[in-house]
Structure 1
Amino acid sequence: MPFTKMHGIGNDYIYIDCLETMPENPAELSIRMSPRHTSIGSDGIILICPSKIADFKMRIFNADGSEALMCGNGSRCVGKYVYDHNLTDKTEITLETLSGVKHLYLHVNDSTGNVDEVTVDMGLPSFDCEIIGVEFPQNEMIEKSVITSTGKLNITGVSMGNPHGVIFMEQIDNLCISAIGPELENHKMWLDRANIEFAEIVDEHTIKMRVWERGSGETLACGTGACATAVAAIRTGRAKSPVTVKLLGGDLTISIEKSSGHVMMQGSATEVFTGNYFPC
Protein backbone atom coordinates (compact mmCIF):
# COMPACT_ATOMS: atom_id res chain seq x y z
CA MET A 1 0.00 0.00 0.00
CA PRO A 2 1.57 3.33 -1.07
CA PHE A 3 1.80 6.05 1.58
CA THR A 4 3.35 9.46 2.10
CA LYS A 5 4.81 10.65 5.41
CA MET A 6 4.13 14.35 6.02
CA HIS A 7 4.15 16.77 8.91
CA GLY A 8 2.79 20.18 9.82
CA ILE A 9 5.43 21.70 12.14
CA GLY A 10 6.16 18.29 13.61
CA ASN A 11 2.60 16.96 13.86
CA ASP A 12 3.25 13.94 11.64
CA TYR A 13 0.80 11.63 9.95
CA ILE A 14 0.89 8.93 7.32
CA TYR A 15 -1.17 10.05 4.31
CA ILE A 16 -2.92 7.51 2.12
CA ASP A 17 -4.56 8.30 -1.22
CA CYS A 18 -8.00 6.68 -1.00
CA LEU A 19 -9.58 8.32 -4.03
CA GLU A 20 -9.85 4.93 -5.74
CA THR A 21 -9.79 2.37 -2.90
CA MET A 22 -10.26 2.40 0.87
CA PRO A 23 -8.42 0.22 3.39
CA GLU A 24 -10.73 -2.29 5.07
CA ASN A 25 -10.05 -1.35 8.69
CA PRO A 26 -8.42 2.09 8.95
CA ALA A 27 -8.57 2.13 12.77
CA GLU A 28 -6.56 -1.08 13.02
CA LEU A 29 -4.26 0.13 10.24
CA SER A 30 -3.47 3.28 12.19
CA ILE A 31 -2.62 1.25 15.30
CA ARG A 32 -0.25 -0.90 13.25
CA MET A 33 1.42 1.87 11.24
CA SER A 34 1.87 4.48 13.99
CA PRO A 35 4.39 2.92 16.47
CA ARG A 36 7.66 4.81 16.20
CA HIS A 37 10.07 2.01 17.04
CA THR A 38 8.42 -0.96 15.37
CA SER A 39 6.63 0.54 12.36
CA ILE A 40 6.62 3.70 10.22
CA GLY A 41 5.93 5.98 13.19
CA SER A 42 3.41 8.81 13.34
CA ASP A 43 0.66 10.54 15.32
CA GLY A 44 -1.79 8.53 13.20
CA ILE A 45 -2.98 8.15 9.61
CA ILE A 46 -4.97 10.47 7.37
CA LEU A 47 -7.05 9.17 4.47
CA ILE A 48 -7.59 11.43 1.45
CA CYS A 49 -10.99 10.44 0.07
CA PRO A 50 -13.51 11.57 -2.54
CA SER A 51 -16.31 13.86 -1.37
CA LYS A 52 -19.79 14.62 -2.63
CA ILE A 53 -19.85 18.08 -0.99
CA ALA A 54 -16.26 19.32 -1.31
CA ASP A 55 -13.16 18.91 -3.46
CA PHE A 56 -11.77 16.24 -1.12
CA LYS A 57 -12.58 14.52 2.15
CA MET A 58 -10.21 13.89 5.06
CA ARG A 59 -10.54 11.09 7.61
CA ILE A 60 -8.18 11.12 10.58
CA PHE A 61 -7.29 8.16 12.78
CA ASN A 62 -5.17 8.71 15.86
CA ALA A 63 -2.33 6.43 16.91
CA ASP A 64 -4.72 4.58 19.24
CA GLY A 65 -7.18 3.92 16.41
CA SER A 66 -9.81 6.46 17.46
CA GLU A 67 -11.20 8.64 14.68
CA ALA A 68 -10.65 12.38 15.12
CA LEU A 69 -13.10 15.08 14.13
CA MET A 70 -10.57 17.57 12.78
CA CYS A 71 -6.83 18.19 12.48
CA GLY A 72 -5.57 21.64 11.53
CA ASN A 73 -2.02 20.54 10.74
CA GLY A 74 -3.36 17.55 8.85
CA SER A 75 -5.64 19.70 6.72
CA ARG A 76 -2.67 21.83 5.63
CA CYS A 77 -0.75 18.71 4.63
CA VAL A 78 -3.75 17.43 2.65
CA GLY A 79 -3.79 20.73 0.78
CA LYS A 80 -0.11 20.35 -0.07
CA TYR A 81 -0.53 16.69 -1.02
CA VAL A 82 -3.38 17.12 -3.48
CA TYR A 83 -1.67 20.06 -5.24
CA ASP A 84 1.89 18.70 -5.30
CA HIS A 85 0.68 15.26 -6.43
CA ASN A 86 -1.35 16.80 -9.29
CA LEU A 87 -4.75 15.85 -7.91
CA THR A 88 -5.86 19.47 -8.36
CA ASP A 89 -4.55 22.63 -9.97
CA LYS A 90 -6.63 24.91 -7.76
CA THR A 91 -5.01 27.04 -5.06
CA GLU A 92 -8.29 27.43 -3.19
CA ILE A 93 -9.93 24.13 -2.28
CA THR A 94 -12.64 22.80 0.01
CA LEU A 95 -12.06 19.88 2.37
CA GLU A 96 -14.78 17.81 4.00
CA THR A 97 -14.09 16.79 7.61
CA LEU A 98 -16.21 15.40 10.43
CA SER A 99 -16.30 19.00 11.71
CA GLY A 100 -17.70 20.35 8.45
CA VAL A 101 -16.24 21.70 5.22
CA LYS A 102 -13.04 23.74 5.57
CA HIS A 103 -11.65 26.22 3.05
CA LEU A 104 -7.95 25.97 2.28
CA TYR A 105 -5.78 28.61 0.60
CA LEU A 106 -2.57 27.17 -0.84
CA HIS A 107 0.60 29.29 -0.99
CA VAL A 108 2.68 28.02 -3.92
CA ASN A 109 6.44 28.61 -4.10
CA ASP A 110 7.19 30.26 -7.44
CA SER A 111 10.61 28.58 -7.66
CA THR A 112 9.60 24.99 -6.90
CA GLY A 113 5.99 25.03 -8.02
CA ASN A 114 5.06 23.24 -4.80
CA VAL A 115 2.98 24.35 -1.82
CA ASP A 116 5.04 25.71 1.09
CA GLU A 117 2.31 27.02 3.38
CA VAL A 118 -1.46 26.72 3.69
CA THR A 119 -4.02 29.00 5.31
CA VAL A 120 -7.07 27.21 6.65
CA ASP A 121 -10.38 28.88 7.48
CA MET A 122 -11.10 27.01 10.70
CA GLY A 123 -14.57 28.51 11.06
CA LEU A 124 -16.17 29.92 14.17
CA PRO A 125 -14.94 28.88 17.61
CA SER A 126 -17.44 28.06 20.33
CA PHE A 127 -17.36 28.37 24.11
CA ASP A 128 -20.74 26.65 24.44
CA CYS A 129 -20.40 23.68 26.80
CA GLU A 130 -22.95 21.60 24.93
CA ILE A 131 -21.08 22.06 21.64
CA ILE A 132 -17.72 21.37 23.31
CA GLY A 133 -19.03 18.26 25.00
CA VAL A 134 -18.32 19.16 28.61
CA GLU A 135 -20.57 18.76 31.64
CA PHE A 136 -20.62 22.09 33.44
CA PRO A 137 -23.45 23.90 35.26
CA GLN A 138 -23.05 27.09 33.19
CA ASN A 139 -23.26 27.70 29.43
CA GLU A 140 -19.54 28.47 29.21
CA MET A 141 -16.49 27.23 31.08
CA ILE A 142 -14.10 30.19 31.16
CA GLU A 143 -11.13 29.80 33.50
CA LYS A 144 -13.04 27.55 35.85
CA SER A 145 -11.25 25.65 38.58
CA VAL A 146 -10.83 21.92 38.08
CA ILE A 147 -9.44 19.67 40.81
CA THR A 148 -6.61 17.39 39.68
CA SER A 149 -4.08 15.18 41.45
CA THR A 150 -1.61 18.09 41.32
CA GLY A 151 -4.07 20.64 42.69
CA LYS A 152 -6.52 23.09 41.19
CA LEU A 153 -6.10 24.28 37.60
CA ASN A 154 -8.13 26.96 35.81
CA ILE A 155 -9.36 25.67 32.47
CA THR A 156 -11.20 27.23 29.55
CA GLY A 157 -13.30 25.02 27.29
CA VAL A 158 -13.23 25.74 23.55
CA SER A 159 -14.55 23.91 20.51
CA MET A 160 -12.76 24.23 17.19
CA GLY A 161 -14.93 21.46 15.80
CA ASN A 162 -13.31 19.23 18.43
CA PRO A 163 -13.06 19.66 22.22
CA HIS A 164 -10.22 21.57 23.89
CA GLY A 165 -9.32 22.55 27.43
CA VAL A 166 -6.88 25.48 27.62
CA ILE A 167 -4.82 26.17 30.74
CA PHE A 168 -2.68 29.30 31.09
CA MET A 169 0.48 28.89 33.16
CA GLU A 170 3.61 30.87 34.04
CA GLN A 171 6.10 28.22 32.91
CA ILE A 172 5.44 25.30 30.56
CA ASP A 173 8.97 24.15 29.68
CA ASN A 174 9.39 22.03 32.81
CA LEU A 175 5.82 20.80 32.94
CA CYS A 176 5.52 17.02 33.39
CA ILE A 177 2.86 16.80 30.71
CA SER A 178 2.89 12.99 30.64
CA ALA A 179 1.59 13.01 34.24
CA ILE A 180 -1.14 15.63 34.07
CA GLY A 181 -2.08 15.27 30.36
CA PRO A 182 -3.79 11.87 30.51
CA GLU A 183 -5.65 12.82 33.68
CA LEU A 184 -7.12 15.94 32.10
CA GLU A 185 -7.77 14.28 28.73
CA ASN A 186 -9.86 11.62 30.46
CA HIS A 187 -11.43 13.84 33.15
CA LYS A 188 -15.04 12.89 33.83
CA MET A 189 -16.27 16.37 32.84
CA TRP A 190 -15.62 15.63 29.13
CA LEU A 191 -18.25 13.57 27.35
CA ASP A 192 -15.68 12.01 24.99
CA ARG A 193 -12.26 13.08 26.27
CA ALA A 194 -10.54 16.31 25.13
CA ASN A 195 -7.35 17.83 23.81
CA ILE A 196 -5.49 19.72 26.54
CA GLU A 197 -3.35 22.81 25.89
CA PHE A 198 -0.87 24.32 28.35
CA ALA A 199 -0.10 27.91 27.38
CA GLU A 200 2.34 30.59 28.48
CA ILE A 201 1.79 34.21 27.42
CA VAL A 202 4.97 35.82 26.03
CA ASP A 203 3.32 39.08 24.95
CA GLU A 204 -0.06 40.13 23.56
CA HIS A 205 0.78 38.69 20.13
CA THR A 206 2.88 35.66 21.15
CA ILE A 207 2.03 32.47 23.07
CA LYS A 208 4.09 29.39 23.86
CA MET A 209 2.09 26.18 23.95
CA ARG A 210 2.40 22.47 24.63
CA VAL A 211 -0.37 20.03 23.86
CA TRP A 212 -1.62 16.67 25.03
CA GLU A 213 -3.76 15.38 22.17
CA ARG A 214 -6.73 13.13 22.63
CA GLY A 215 -5.74 9.69 21.41
CA SER A 216 -2.11 10.57 20.62
CA GLY A 217 -0.47 11.97 23.77
CA GLU A 218 1.99 14.86 23.58
CA THR A 219 2.65 15.93 20.00
CA LEU A 220 4.99 18.55 18.58
CA ALA A 221 2.06 20.61 17.33
CA CYS A 222 -1.72 20.79 17.16
CA GLY A 223 -3.41 23.19 14.76
CA THR A 224 -6.85 23.16 16.34
CA GLY A 225 -5.15 23.43 19.74
CA ALA A 226 -3.22 26.50 18.63
CA CYS A 227 -6.48 28.04 17.42
CA ALA A 228 -8.27 27.18 20.67
CA THR A 229 -5.42 28.65 22.72
CA ALA A 230 -5.31 31.88 20.72
CA VAL A 231 -9.10 32.26 20.93
CA ALA A 232 -9.09 31.60 24.69
CA ALA A 233 -6.26 34.10 25.19
CA ILE A 234 -8.14 36.77 23.24
CA ARG A 235 -11.40 36.00 25.05
CA THR A 236 -9.72 36.36 28.48
CA GLY A 237 -7.90 39.58 27.55
CA ARG A 238 -4.44 38.06 27.40
CA ALA A 239 -3.81 38.50 23.67
CA LYS A 240 -4.83 40.34 20.51
CA SER A 241 -5.16 39.11 16.94
CA PRO A 242 -2.96 38.11 15.16
CA VAL A 243 -1.24 35.67 17.50
CA THR A 244 1.91 33.67 16.86
CA VAL A 245 1.60 30.37 18.68
CA LYS A 246 5.00 28.82 19.32
CA LEU A 247 4.82 25.02 19.59
CA LEU A 248 7.56 22.44 20.05
CA GLY A 249 7.61 21.80 16.29
CA GLY A 250 7.38 25.40 15.05
CA ASP A 251 5.12 28.42 14.78
CA LEU A 252 1.56 28.96 13.59
CA THR A 253 -0.08 32.30 12.88
CA ILE A 254 -3.64 32.53 14.16
CA SER A 255 -5.87 35.49 13.35
CA ILE A 256 -9.53 36.38 13.68
CA GLU A 257 -11.20 37.62 10.50
CA LYS A 258 -13.04 40.78 11.48
CA SER A 259 -15.96 40.49 9.08
CA SER A 260 -16.89 36.88 9.85
CA GLY A 261 -15.25 36.12 13.19
CA HIS A 262 -13.70 33.04 11.62
CA VAL A 263 -10.38 31.74 12.92
CA MET A 264 -7.66 31.68 10.25
CA MET A 265 -4.63 29.43 10.71
CA GLN A 266 -1.49 29.72 8.57
CA GLY A 267 1.55 27.46 8.70
CA SER A 268 3.87 25.18 6.79
CA ALA A 269 3.28 21.70 5.39
CA THR A 270 6.16 19.33 4.63
CA GLU A 271 6.49 16.05 2.75
CA VAL A 272 9.11 13.80 4.35
CA PHE A 273 9.16 10.59 2.29
CA THR A 274 7.03 8.10 0.38
CA GLY A 275 6.98 4.33 0.61
CA ASN A 276 4.98 1.12 0.43
CA TYR A 277 3.53 -0.59 3.48
CA PHE A 278 3.18 -4.35 3.53
CA PRO A 279 0.94 -5.50 6.41
CA CYS A 280 2.28 -8.53 8.23
Structure 2
Amino acid sequence: MQFSKYHGLGNDFILIDNRQSDQPLVTPAEAVKMCDRHFGIGADGVIFVLPPQNNCQYTMRIFNSDGSEPEMCGNGIRCFAQFVTELEGKEEVGKQYPIHTLAGTITPTIKGEGMIRVDMGEPELTPAKIPTTLNQGGEKVVRESLTVADKEYEVSCVSMGNPHCLVFVDSVADIDLEKIGPLFETHAVFPQKTNTEFIEVVRPDYLKMRVWERGAGITLACGTGACATVVAGVLNGKCDRTCTVELPGGCLEIEWNEEDNHVYMTGPALKVFSGNM
Protein backbone atom coordinates (compact mmCIF):
# COMPACT_ATOMS: atom_id res chain seq x y z
CA MET A 1 0.00 0.00 0.00
CA GLN A 2 1.34 3.40 -1.00
CA PHE A 3 1.05 6.35 1.38
CA SER A 4 2.29 9.89 1.86
CA LYS A 5 3.13 11.50 5.20
CA TYR A 6 2.10 15.13 5.75
CA HIS A 7 2.05 17.47 8.70
CA GLY A 8 0.29 20.69 9.60
CA LEU A 9 2.37 22.47 12.25
CA GLY A 10 3.66 19.12 13.52
CA ASN A 11 0.18 17.53 13.66
CA ASP A 12 1.10 14.63 11.37
CA PHE A 13 -0.92 12.24 9.25
CA ILE A 14 -0.62 9.25 6.95
CA LEU A 15 -2.51 10.00 3.72
CA ILE A 16 -3.90 7.14 1.61
CA ASP A 17 -5.37 7.34 -1.91
CA ASN A 18 -8.67 5.55 -1.31
CA ARG A 19 -10.52 6.78 -4.40
CA GLN A 20 -11.14 3.24 -5.70
CA SER A 21 -13.36 2.34 -2.75
CA ASP A 22 -15.99 4.07 -0.62
CA GLN A 23 -14.65 2.30 2.50
CA PRO A 24 -11.23 2.86 4.13
CA LEU A 25 -8.60 0.40 2.92
CA VAL A 26 -7.37 -0.27 6.46
CA THR A 27 -9.26 -1.03 9.66
CA PRO A 28 -9.11 1.11 12.80
CA ALA A 29 -6.90 -1.55 14.42
CA GLU A 30 -4.50 -1.44 11.45
CA ALA A 31 -4.49 2.36 11.65
CA VAL A 32 -3.39 2.16 15.29
CA LYS A 33 -0.40 0.03 14.22
CA MET A 34 0.47 2.41 11.37
CA CYS A 35 0.41 5.40 13.74
CA ASP A 36 2.75 3.76 16.28
CA ARG A 37 5.92 5.87 16.35
CA HIS A 38 8.18 2.96 17.30
CA PHE A 39 6.74 0.01 15.38
CA GLY A 40 4.87 1.74 12.55
CA ILE A 41 5.11 4.81 10.33
CA GLY A 42 4.20 7.19 13.14
CA ALA A 43 1.37 9.73 13.01
CA ASP A 44 -1.52 11.35 14.89
CA GLY A 45 -3.97 9.77 12.45
CA VAL A 46 -4.61 8.08 9.10
CA ILE A 47 -6.58 10.05 6.50
CA PHE A 48 -8.35 8.51 3.51
CA VAL A 49 -9.18 10.27 0.22
CA LEU A 50 -12.46 8.60 -0.77
CA PRO A 51 -14.79 9.05 -3.79
CA PRO A 52 -17.23 12.00 -4.02
CA GLN A 53 -20.41 12.31 -1.95
CA ASN A 54 -23.12 14.99 -1.72
CA ASN A 55 -21.86 17.01 -4.72
CA CYS A 56 -18.35 17.26 -3.24
CA GLN A 57 -15.18 16.47 -5.19
CA TYR A 58 -13.82 14.11 -2.52
CA THR A 59 -14.76 12.50 0.78
CA MET A 60 -12.47 12.59 3.82
CA ARG A 61 -12.40 10.09 6.65
CA ILE A 62 -9.84 9.83 9.42
CA PHE A 63 -8.89 7.30 12.08
CA ASN A 64 -7.11 8.72 15.12
CA SER A 65 -4.00 7.08 16.55
CA ASP A 66 -6.22 5.24 19.06
CA GLY A 67 -8.50 3.90 16.31
CA SER A 68 -11.43 6.24 16.99
CA GLU A 69 -12.99 8.25 14.17
CA PRO A 70 -13.47 12.02 14.61
CA GLU A 71 -15.97 14.05 12.63
CA MET A 72 -13.33 16.39 11.25
CA CYS A 73 -9.74 17.55 11.65
CA GLY A 74 -8.58 21.07 10.79
CA ASN A 75 -4.89 20.37 10.27
CA GLY A 76 -5.82 17.09 8.62
CA ILE A 77 -8.06 18.69 6.02
CA ARG A 78 -5.27 21.05 4.99
CA CYS A 79 -3.00 18.03 4.55
CA PHE A 80 -5.84 16.31 2.66
CA ALA A 81 -6.11 19.23 0.21
CA GLN A 82 -2.36 19.38 -0.39
CA PHE A 83 -2.27 15.60 -0.91
CA VAL A 84 -5.06 15.91 -3.49
CA THR A 85 -2.90 18.33 -5.49
CA GLU A 86 -0.22 15.60 -5.45
CA LEU A 87 -2.72 13.00 -6.70
CA GLU A 88 -3.95 15.37 -9.42
CA GLY A 89 -0.37 16.19 -10.42
CA LYS A 90 -0.62 19.96 -10.06
CA GLU A 91 -1.03 22.73 -7.50
CA GLU A 92 -3.46 25.34 -8.82
CA VAL A 93 -3.44 28.51 -6.72
CA GLY A 94 -6.96 29.63 -5.92
CA LYS A 95 -8.55 26.24 -6.58
CA GLN A 96 -11.21 25.19 -4.10
CA TYR A 97 -11.97 21.62 -3.04
CA PRO A 98 -15.41 21.05 -1.51
CA ILE A 99 -14.83 18.01 0.72
CA HIS A 100 -17.48 15.83 2.30
CA THR A 101 -16.75 15.06 5.97
CA LEU A 102 -18.74 13.69 8.89
CA ALA A 103 -19.05 17.34 9.98
CA GLY A 104 -20.54 18.39 6.63
CA THR A 105 -18.97 20.09 3.61
CA ILE A 106 -15.64 21.81 4.31
CA THR A 107 -13.92 23.82 1.56
CA PRO A 108 -10.14 24.37 1.47
CA THR A 109 -8.58 26.84 -1.00
CA ILE A 110 -5.04 26.36 -2.31
CA LYS A 111 -2.96 29.47 -1.56
CA GLY A 112 0.37 28.19 -2.90
CA GLU A 113 3.74 27.34 -1.34
CA GLY A 114 2.13 24.84 1.01
CA MET A 115 -0.43 27.26 2.46
CA ILE A 116 -4.13 26.38 2.63
CA ARG A 117 -7.11 28.54 3.63
CA VAL A 118 -10.13 26.59 4.86
CA ASP A 119 -13.72 27.70 5.24
CA MET A 120 -14.52 25.77 8.41
CA GLY A 121 -18.20 26.74 8.40
CA GLU A 122 -20.23 28.11 11.30
CA PRO A 123 -19.41 27.25 14.90
CA GLU A 124 -22.10 25.40 16.84
CA LEU A 125 -22.79 26.89 20.26
CA THR A 126 -25.97 25.08 21.35
CA PRO A 127 -25.11 22.76 24.28
CA ALA A 128 -27.07 19.76 22.99
CA LYS A 129 -25.37 19.95 19.59
CA ILE A 130 -21.79 20.34 20.88
CA PRO A 131 -22.67 18.03 22.75
CA THR A 132 -22.43 18.78 26.47
CA THR A 133 -24.79 18.64 29.41
CA LEU A 134 -23.43 21.96 30.71
CA ASN A 135 -26.06 24.72 30.67
CA GLN A 136 -28.71 22.41 29.27
CA GLY A 137 -31.53 24.38 27.68
CA GLY A 138 -29.32 27.46 27.25
CA GLU A 139 -28.19 29.08 24.02
CA LYS A 140 -24.46 28.65 24.62
CA VAL A 141 -21.86 27.48 27.13
CA VAL A 142 -19.74 30.46 28.20
CA ARG A 143 -17.94 30.83 31.55
CA GLU A 144 -19.59 27.74 33.03
CA SER A 145 -18.14 26.11 36.15
CA LEU A 146 -16.68 22.60 35.76
CA THR A 147 -14.96 20.58 38.48
CA VAL A 148 -12.10 18.37 37.31
CA ALA A 149 -9.87 16.48 39.77
CA ASP A 150 -11.29 18.50 42.69
CA LYS A 151 -10.43 21.81 41.01
CA GLU A 152 -12.99 24.25 39.64
CA TYR A 153 -12.46 25.57 36.11
CA GLU A 154 -14.34 28.22 34.15
CA VAL A 155 -14.98 26.73 30.72
CA SER A 156 -16.62 27.57 27.42
CA CYS A 157 -17.70 24.99 24.83
CA VAL A 158 -17.81 25.17 21.03
CA SER A 159 -18.27 22.63 18.25
CA MET A 160 -16.42 23.01 14.96
CA GLY A 161 -18.01 19.79 13.76
CA ASN A 162 -16.28 18.16 16.74
CA PRO A 163 -16.55 19.11 20.44
CA HIS A 164 -14.17 21.48 22.22
CA CYS A 165 -13.87 22.59 25.84
CA LEU A 166 -11.89 25.82 26.21
CA VAL A 167 -10.19 27.11 29.33
CA PHE A 168 -8.49 30.51 29.62
CA VAL A 169 -5.41 30.47 31.86
CA ASP A 170 -2.65 32.87 32.86
CA SER A 171 0.09 30.66 31.40
CA VAL A 172 -0.29 27.62 29.14
CA ALA A 173 3.24 26.54 30.10
CA ASP A 174 2.07 25.87 33.66
CA ILE A 175 -0.61 23.34 32.66
CA ASP A 176 0.15 19.67 33.36
CA LEU A 177 -1.54 18.67 30.13
CA GLU A 178 -0.65 14.99 30.27
CA LYS A 179 -2.35 14.67 33.65
CA ILE A 180 -5.39 16.90 33.26
CA GLY A 181 -6.14 16.36 29.54
CA PRO A 182 -7.57 12.83 29.83
CA LEU A 183 -9.79 13.90 32.74
CA PHE A 184 -11.38 16.64 30.64
CA GLU A 185 -11.70 14.35 27.60
CA THR A 186 -13.67 11.69 29.47
CA HIS A 187 -15.64 13.94 31.83
CA ALA A 188 -19.28 12.89 32.22
CA VAL A 189 -20.58 16.26 30.91
CA PHE A 190 -19.21 15.37 27.45
CA PRO A 191 -21.19 12.37 26.16
CA GLN A 192 -19.00 12.04 23.05
CA LYS A 193 -15.82 13.01 24.91
CA THR A 194 -14.10 16.31 24.04
CA ASN A 195 -11.00 18.05 22.79
CA THR A 196 -9.62 20.43 25.42
CA GLU A 197 -7.74 23.67 24.81
CA PHE A 198 -5.93 25.79 27.37
CA ILE A 199 -5.52 29.38 26.17
CA GLU A 200 -3.28 32.28 27.17
CA VAL A 201 -4.17 35.76 25.89
CA VAL A 202 -0.97 37.54 24.88
CA ARG A 203 -2.78 40.35 23.05
CA PRO A 204 -6.32 40.69 21.70
CA ASP A 205 -4.96 39.63 18.29
CA TYR A 206 -2.50 36.97 19.54
CA LEU A 207 -3.32 33.85 21.57
CA LYS A 208 -1.24 30.91 22.78
CA MET A 209 -2.89 27.51 22.96
CA ARG A 210 -2.06 23.97 24.05
CA VAL A 211 -4.35 21.07 23.26
CA TRP A 212 -5.33 17.62 24.41
CA GLU A 213 -7.02 16.01 21.42
CA ARG A 214 -9.80 13.49 21.82
CA GLY A 215 -8.42 10.17 20.59
CA ALA A 216 -4.86 11.39 20.05
CA GLY A 217 -3.70 13.01 23.30
CA ILE A 218 -1.11 15.80 23.28
CA THR A 219 -0.46 17.05 19.75
CA LEU A 220 1.60 19.94 18.42
CA ALA A 221 -1.40 21.60 16.79
CA CYS A 222 -5.18 21.34 16.35
CA GLY A 223 -6.88 23.31 13.59
CA THR A 224 -10.46 22.94 14.79
CA GLY A 225 -9.17 23.75 18.30
CA ALA A 226 -7.58 26.98 17.07
CA CYS A 227 -10.88 27.94 15.44
CA ALA A 228 -12.83 27.13 18.60
CA THR A 229 -10.26 29.11 20.60
CA VAL A 230 -10.98 32.33 18.70
CA VAL A 231 -14.75 31.78 18.88
CA ALA A 232 -14.53 31.28 22.65
CA GLY A 233 -12.20 34.26 22.95
CA VAL A 234 -14.69 36.53 21.20
CA LEU A 235 -17.60 35.19 23.28
CA ASN A 236 -15.61 35.85 26.46
CA GLY A 237 -14.55 39.35 25.32
CA LYS A 238 -10.89 38.38 25.34
CA CYS A 239 -9.81 38.64 21.70
CA ASP A 240 -10.49 40.10 18.26
CA ARG A 241 -12.34 38.24 15.53
CA THR A 242 -9.09 37.90 13.58
CA CYS A 243 -6.22 36.38 15.54
CA THR A 244 -2.92 34.61 15.31
CA VAL A 245 -3.10 31.44 17.38
CA GLU A 246 0.30 30.14 18.46
CA LEU A 247 0.47 26.39 19.01
CA PRO A 248 3.53 24.33 20.00
CA GLY A 249 4.05 23.46 16.31
CA GLY A 250 3.63 26.99 14.92
CA CYS A 251 0.97 29.59 14.14
CA LEU A 252 -2.42 29.56 12.45
CA GLU A 253 -4.33 32.61 11.26
CA ILE A 254 -7.98 32.42 12.32
CA GLU A 255 -10.89 34.71 11.38
CA TRP A 256 -14.45 34.47 12.71
CA ASN A 257 -16.20 36.49 10.04
CA GLU A 258 -19.03 38.60 11.41
CA GLU A 259 -20.92 38.82 8.10
CA ASP A 260 -21.35 35.13 7.29
CA ASN A 261 -20.59 33.69 10.76
CA HIS A 262 -18.04 31.33 9.18
CA VAL A 263 -14.63 30.60 10.68
CA TYR A 264 -11.65 30.72 8.30
CA MET A 265 -8.32 29.05 9.04
CA THR A 266 -5.07 29.63 7.13
CA GLY A 267 -1.96 27.57 7.70
CA PRO A 268 0.61 25.22 6.17
CA ALA A 269 0.39 21.62 5.02
CA LEU A 270 3.76 20.10 4.15
CA LYS A 271 4.78 16.74 2.75
CA VAL A 272 7.34 14.78 4.76
CA PHE A 273 7.84 11.66 2.60
CA SER A 274 6.09 8.94 0.59
CA GLY A 275 6.50 5.20 0.89
CA ASN A 276 5.07 1.69 0.62
CA MET A 277 3.79 -0.42 3.45
Secondary structure of 2:97 counterpart: strand
Provide the C-alpha distance between the structure 1 equivalents of 2:126 and 2:159, rounded to a whole number of angstroms. 8
- Say whether residues 1:206 and 2:210 are aligned partners: no
Distance 2:120 2:256 in 1: 10
Q: What does 1:166-185 align with in structure 2 at a 5 Å threshold?
A: 166-185=166-185
Partners of 1:142 and 1:158 lie apart in 2 by 9
**In structure 2, distance between residues paired with 1:271 and 1:170:** 35
Structure 1 residue 141, shift from structure 2 partner: 1.7
The yes-or-no answer on 1:92 pairing with 2:90 is no
Q: Partners of 1:148 and 1:82 in 2: how far apart?
A: 41
Aligned mates of 2:105, 2:18 — CA distance in 1: 18
1:87: Cα distance to partner?
Answer: 5.8
Large movers: runs of 4+ above 6 Å: none
> d(CA) in 2 for partners of 1:150 and 1:35?
33
Indicate how the Cα distance of structure 1 residues 249 and 89 shifts in structure 2: closer, same or farther if over 3 A, else same.
Answer: closer
Return the offset for 1:83. Answer: 1.2
- Higher alpha-carbon deviation: 85-94 or 43-52: 85-94
Separation of aligned partners in 2, 1:161 and 1:24: 24
Offset of 1:23 from its aligned partner?
Answer: 4.5
**CA distance, structure 2, for counterparts of residue 89 and residue 249 of structure 1:** 24
Give the length in aligned residue pairs: 271
> Structure 2: how far apart are the matches of 1:232 and 1:51?
33
Partner of 1:261 in structure 2?
Answer: 261
Distance 1:89 1:176 in 2: 41
- Correspondence for 1:108 among 112, 117, 140: 112
Q: Which residue of 1 aligns with 2:47?
A: 46
What is the distance in 1 between the residues matched to 2:71 and 2:125?
A: 17
- Distance in 1, Cα, partners of 2:159 & 2:15: 25
**Do residues 34 (structure 1) and 35 (structure 2) align?**
yes
Distance change >3 Å, CA 150–CA 208, structure 1 → 2 = farther
- Where does structure 2 lack aligned partners over 5 or more consecutive residues? none
SS at 1:85's partner residue? Answer: helix
- TM-score norm. by structure 1 comes to 0.93
Question: How much does 1:88 deviate?
Answer: 6.9
Q: 1:88 to 1:68 in 2, by over 3 A?
A: farther
Q: 2:17 aligns to what?
A: 17
Aligned-residue offset at 1:276: 0.7
Contact 2:18–2:25 at 8 Å: present in 1 too?
A: no
| Match runs of 1:123-272 below 5 Å | 123-136=121-134, 137-139=136-138, 140-272=140-272
Q: Following the alignment from structure 1 to structure 2, what is the Cα–Cα distance between the partners of residues 88 and 55?
A: 16
Distance in 2, Cα, partners of 1:89 & 1:242: 27
Using the alignment, how far apart are the partners of 1:79 and 1:249 within structure 2?
Answer: 19
SS at match of 1:143: strand
Report the aligned-residue RMSD.
1.4
